[in-house]
Homo-oligomer: A and B are copies of this chain.
Amino acid sequence: MSFIKEVRTLVSENIRDYGMYIALAVIILTFTVMTNGLFISSRNISNLLDSAGYIAVLAVGMTLVIVIRHIDLSVGYAAGFLGAVAAILLTQAGVSMFITIPIILVLGVATGLLNGVLVAKIGIPSFVATLAGMLIFRGALLQVTEKTGTIIIRDDMFNAIGNGYIPSLMEVNGLHLLSLLVGMVGIIFYIYSEMNTRKNKMKYNFEVVSTGIFILKLVFVSAIIAYVTWILAGYNGFSWTVIVMLAVVLLYHFLTTKTVLGRHIYAVGSNPEAAHLSGINVKKITYIVFGSMGMLAALSGILFTARLQSATTTAGTLFELDAIAAAYVGGVSSAGGVGKVTGAIIGAIVMASLTNGMNLLGVGISYQYMIRGGVLAGAVIFDVMTRGRK
């Protein structure tokens, strides 16, 4: 009785945070029913996550940019351009991928910092500064691919980032062992860290949820991880793209929730004046956020290039709008200071699920655009409504 009441309070208090998970669940359920379960098949889920990867990574960076009340329109072509540079390094210059990737990431940071300087130091509105950047990167992409057209990459290791899966080690009943292990480690890590947090809280004599609820939560989340792992293990196991995506989310989740830097970012977004008077270097934070965006654009470019096993002349077209849409669906607010990186990933997966599900159903392309527009508007309307602001 009091248990049910506790659940109810918890849910009603956090409805807004869960809104997007619920939306995702609804979308998954709808498509699963409409496709007779095909949507939720191992293979489809695996493909879906892979196809969301390069946008999800951008959406994480974009969320932070929007949190500090800016926007970055240049990331699409920046990703395309940096991907092409990676391809050139790998093929024409014959640089190893272990050197290429760091170089590209550093280049990404540099381009991001340039945006940061234009915005924070010179004071150009980020919209225009990055619009100019978008044109420049587009020209640069055409420039570097002009001689060769599409650049094919034959480095299997590099291509695996976008197409490959972690080794299987051994198959157990058609399930990939290493992936199962990864999932298990994830669950153990999750349970351990939750228990640890709880133990610590109790040590401090803080209020914690009742044991029943706690176990319920552990079981629920573990079951989801286990289910996703099981699904993925049933196809080819975890893809490298999913691993990269998970790594980025975990890293950025940690950065934004546990570190001083993360707090400073949200403080700047929430109230730049107050942040300044609290001794936070607002310009520095702006540089860091744009720099991180640049790095993630580079990573997105790498993922995309590897996925196509080649650098194309139009790589990156409109990625920025997809990333922005994902970030907004994920609950970021342009009023600043609100938005989670986990939301960005969910937003990217929601948008990818829509595309994927509609493709499975054979929905015509014109309706696909309209439905995606509608979902984007709907998500933000829901967000604004539940936030209870005008």
- Residues of A whose CB lies within 8 Å of any CB of B are 71, 118, 122-125, 127-129, 131-136, 138-143, 146, 321, 324-325, 328, 333-335, 364-374, 376-377, 380-381, 384-385, 389-390
Contact = CB atoms under 8 A, between A and B. Distances in A.
A380 B325 contact: no
B129 A369 contact: no
Contact of A376 (B132, B325, B367, B390): B132
A87 B129 CA distance: 37
A374 B134 CA distance: 10
Nearest to A385: B122
Contacts of A377: 118, 124, 128-129, 132-133
Secondary structure call for the A interface = helix
Given A122-B384, A334-B125, A373 B146 contact: no
A135 B384 contact: no
Given A328-B128, A373-B133, A384 B139 contact: no
A146 B367 CA distance: 11
A371 B333 CA distance: 34
Contact of A384 (B123, B133, B390): B123
A141 B129 CA distance: 30
A55 B71 CA distance: 23
A323 to B, nearest CB: 11
Given A131-B324, A132-B380, A135-B370, 14 more contacts: A71-B127, A124-B377, A125-B334, A128-B325, A131-B325, A132-B373, A135-B373, A136-B370, A136-B373, A136-B374, A139-B366, A139-B369, A139-B370, A139-B373
A142 to B, nearest CB: 4
Given A124-B380, A377-B129, A381-B124, A369 B136 contact: yes
B125 A380 contact: yes
Nearest to A321: B131
Contact of A389 (B123, B127, B141, B374): B123
A146 B127 CA distance: 34
Contacts of A389: 123
Nearest to A318: B318
